């Protein structure tokens, strides 16, 4: 029985590409060097900039919910949480600006390295069989696999290149999938 749905934030619930890209550009990073879906500290190190410099120019007001996400979150009939590589200084600000109140929201500074679902499951007091994780990258899929929970690709993100597994084509499909997994 799926008791909770855990979502990645960037690329899953929100389209943050403009905010992320603009901050990198403001730090002097050429467009061809910008990629998505990484731990910020790792990406800043790769690009030769400091996290502090990046955060100083990051504008969370440029982040937008993907179409249908607000409706899906409003209609959820089960618990929900966020597990994200976004920095803890920014993630809660974005959730507040969007009017979202997940039961648990853990960000990059809650993990030793890339996001891990174990701490989220612990905070929810749920086992892996009770959780569906929805994300947009292969490392999201691997995070779900590491704890043994169900995973669905956020297929509404046009950048998603789903590998093996289930694809939710639109946000509303997540509720249908959770119901199917609950038997």
Picking from 59, 61, 58, 62, the residue whose alpha carbon sits closest to that of residue 44 is 58
Q: How confident is the model at residue 112 (pLDDT cuts 50, 70, 90)?
A: confident
Which of 19-23, 110-114, 116-120 shows the lowest mean pLDDT across its residues? Answer: 110-114
Residues 55 and 68 in one domain: no
Q: What is the DSSP letter of 10?
A: B
Q: How confident is the model at residue 36 (pLDDT cuts 50, 70, 90)?
A: confident
pLDDT the model gives residue 109: 83
Give exposure, 44-60, as e/b (b: 16+ Cβ within 10 Å): beebebebeebeeebeb
Residues 45 and 133 in one domain: no
Q: What is the pTM of this model?
A: 0.91
Pairing state of beta strands 14-15 and 64-65?
Answer: antiparallel
Residues 24 and 51 in one domain: yes
pLDDT the model gives residue 139: 86
Residues 53 and 112 in one domain: no
Overall average pLDDT of the 117-130 stretch? 97
pLDDT at 79 over 90: yes
Taking the C-alpha atoms of residue 53 and residue 57, their distance in angstroms, rounded to an integer, is 7
Taking the C-alpha atoms of residue 18 and residue 62, their distance in angstroms, rounded to an integer, is 6
pLDDT at 164 over 80: no
Residues 54 and 109 in one domain: no
HSE at residue 123, side-chain half, CA atoms within 13 A, is 17
Backbone phi, psi, residue 141, to 5°: -60, -40
Q: Domain limits at 53? A: 17-60
pLDDT the model gives residue 183: 74
pLDDT at 168 over 90: yes
Dihedral, CA of residue 135, residue 140, residue 145 and residue 148, to nearest 10:
-50
Residues 47 and 78 in one domain: no
Say how many C-beta atoms besides its own lie within 10 A of residue 138's C-beta. 14
Residues 123 and 138 in one domain: yes
């Amino acid at each position: 029985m799926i008791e909770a749905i855990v979502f990645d934030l960037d690329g899953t619930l929100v389209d943050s590409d403009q905010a992320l890209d603009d901050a990198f550009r403001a730090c002097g990073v050429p467009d061809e060097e910008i990629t998505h879906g990484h731990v910020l500290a790792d990406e800043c190190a790769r690009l030769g900039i400091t996290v502090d410099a990046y955060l100083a120019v990051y504008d969370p007001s440029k982040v937008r919910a993907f179409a249908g996400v607000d409706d899906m979150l409003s209609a959820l009939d089960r618990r929900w949480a966020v597990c994200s590589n976004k920095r803890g200084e920014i993630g809660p600000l974005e959730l507040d600006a969007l009017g979202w109140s997940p039961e648990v929201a853990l960000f990059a500074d809650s993990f030793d390295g890339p996001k891990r679902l174990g701490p989220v499951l612990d905070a929810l007091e749920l086992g892996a069989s009770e959780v569906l994780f929805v994300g947009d990258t292969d490392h999201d899929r691997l995070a779900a696999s590491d704890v043994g929970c169900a995973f669905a690709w956020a297929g509404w993100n046009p950048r998603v290149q789903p590998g093996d597994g289930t694809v939710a084509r639109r946000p509303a499909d997540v509720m249908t999938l959770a119901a199917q997994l609950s038997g």
